[in-house]
Amino acid sequence: MNKFLLYITVLILSAQCFAQPVADTLNTEQKAAKMVASPVIPASPEYSNRNFKPGFKDKYTDDEFIYQTKSMPKTWWDRFLEWLGNLFKSNSKADNEIDWLAITIRILCFIVIGFVVYLVSRAILDKEGMWIFGRSRKKIAIQSVEAENIHEMDFKQLISETKINANYRLALRYYYLWLLKKLSAREIIDWHWDKTNSDYLYEIKDAALKKDFEYLSYVYDHSWYGDFPIDEKAFNKAEKSFIKTFNTL
């Protein structure tokens, strides 16, 4: 009998031990379910109406706030190119039809354009213009020398007159032409009014004379073509160089 009571007591205590964790687990799950079922709703924000200040648009009327691209007015060159492009477009009504009038107009336009380019190029050459890929060639012949022969000119008299008038720039020009006259008389160069300094320099074979001629050509180019002012001191120095070269001929 006592053993039977002992067994019953042990069973009751064991049941209570296992029942307590299960009850705790159920209580925890129920609390979590309540938290999920009733989420916290944040408070709604408060809004207030704000009005723009009067005349606020006036601040944005400057050019910095204008984002639309303005079309530039066409120049006469743009209109010419547009006309030229329209002229060279095909105006035939059918692919197999030849518009002889359009072809003739195009050919005439090419001729006119080529002639204009020729005139511009000729004008640049006559004015000793600078080309894109090289330096312009300095011509010896200018003013009345184109039509006159340097062998018929009295340079000694001409130089004396220019020195009296203090026209030293023109005097150096006469000295240079006088040098060409002497070189041509000794058949060192073949003078022609349309030749350049480089042409004559190439014809001179003597090394010393070639060096002197190159220096005197430099003096002549800078004094005559460069429009540099020549005073009496600079002229006397250049004159001595010319006379020194004359004495070697």
Q: What is the pLDDT along the chain (249 residues), one digit of tens a residue?
A: 555 555 566 556 555 554 444 445 545 555 555 554 455 556 666 666 777 677 666 666 666 666 666 667 777 777 777 776 666 565 544 444 556 666 777 777 778 888 888 887 777 765 444 443 344 444 444 444 544 578 888 899 999 999 999 999 999 999 999 999 999 999 999 888 788 888 999 999 999 999 999 999 999 988 888 767 788 999 999 999 999 999 998
Within-domain flag for 43: no
End of a domain among 106, 136, 166? 136
Neighbours of 93 (CB within 10 A): 8
| In a shared domain, residues 147 and 236 | yes
Residues 127 and 147 in one domain: no
Same domain, 130 and 220: no
Same domain (yes/no): 148, 121: no
Residue 69 is predicted with a pLDDT of 66
Amino acid 246: pLDDT: 93
Q: What is the pLDDT of residue 179?
A: 93
Q: Are residues 207 and 232 in the same domain?
A: yes
pLDDT at 170: 92
| pLDDT for residue 177 | 92
Considering the domain boundaries, does residue 53 fall inside one? Answer: no
* 102 and 192 both lie in a single domain: no
Q: Which domain holds residue 122?
A: 83-89+98-136
Same domain, 120 and 181: no
| pLDDT score, position 75 | 78
Domain shared by 155 and 110, yes or no:
no
Residue 26 lies in a domain: no
Residue 198 and residue 151 share a domain? yes
pLDDT at 82: 76
Q: Are 161 and 228 in the same domain?
A: yes
Query: Is there a domain that residue 227 lies in?
Result: yes
* Statement to judge: residues 167 and 225 lie in one domain: yes
State residue 139 phi and psi, 5-degree precision. Answer: -95, 140
Same domain, 207 and 231: yes
In a domain? residue 70: no
The pLDDT value recorded for residue 235 is 92
Whether 220 is covered by a domain: the verdict is yes
Number of domains in the chain: 2
Has residue 40 been placed in a domain? no
Residue 1, pLDDT score: 52
Is the dihedral angle over the CA atoms 85, 86, 87, 91 positive or is it negative? positive
* In a domain? residue 167: yes
- Spatial separation of the C-alpha atoms in residues 192 and 150, rounded to whole Å: 9
